[in-house]
A = this chain, B = another copy of it.
């Protein structure tokens, strides 16, 4: 039983970004030719998550789907947006020193909120594959979520399928 790997990229904004990647994942599944198996969508970034959620239809003035902005609002009650240092314990002095040593701006480390929000939601989702299609039900969509508001970035989304 072979394993199929596929990686694609998305562009995030300097605010929590939720990208519906269902079509890209479906294209990867079609390209693999697999009819049966388990499909994983994975983020290697520790401020990002992969989610299965219903599409919200409506979007706010920033283009964020209502349900995703509601998610940001709910998590924000216990993990408020990180505005400056010492709001959270992290980043501490050793972390900042290491970041500066990598030629990062210190302000890029003010993404503690993103690390915490994303770990609660998880780094990957699994979807069964049957008859060559993902079993997502009538409403399930796959989203890549980037919670890092400190900078816009190119992000990698990884699809891996085990099956036949």
Contact = CB atoms under 8 A, between A and B. Distances in A.
Interface of A: 1, 3, 5, 36-38, 40, 42, 44-46, 51-54, 56-58, 60, 65-67, 69-71, 73-75, 77-79, 88-95, 98, 112, 115-116, 119-128, 130, 135-137, 139-140, 156, 158, 160, 162-164
A139 to B, nearest CB: 5
A121 B74 CA distance: 14
A119 B53 contact: yes
21 contacts: A1-B162, A3-B36, A3-B38, A38-B162, A42-B127, A44-B135, A44-B136, A44-B137, A44-B140, A57-B94, A57-B98, A58-B94, A66-B89, A67-B90, A67-B115, A69-B89, A77-B78, A120-B121, A123-B125, A124-B125, A162-B163
B128 A40 contact: yes
* Residue in A67, A88, A95 with the greatest tally of chain B CB atoms within 10 Å: A67
A144 to B, nearest CB: 14
B116 A70 contact: yes
Contact of A90 (B42, B66, B136): B66
A117 to B, nearest CB: 9
B42 A135 contact: yes
Given A71-B119, A124-B126, 20 more contacts: A3-B38, A3-B164, A5-B128, A5-B130, A42-B126, A42-B127, A44-B137, A46-B52, A46-B140, A52-B123, A53-B119, A57-B95, A57-B98, A67-B89, A67-B112, A70-B116, A77-B78, A78-B78, A126-B126, A128-B160
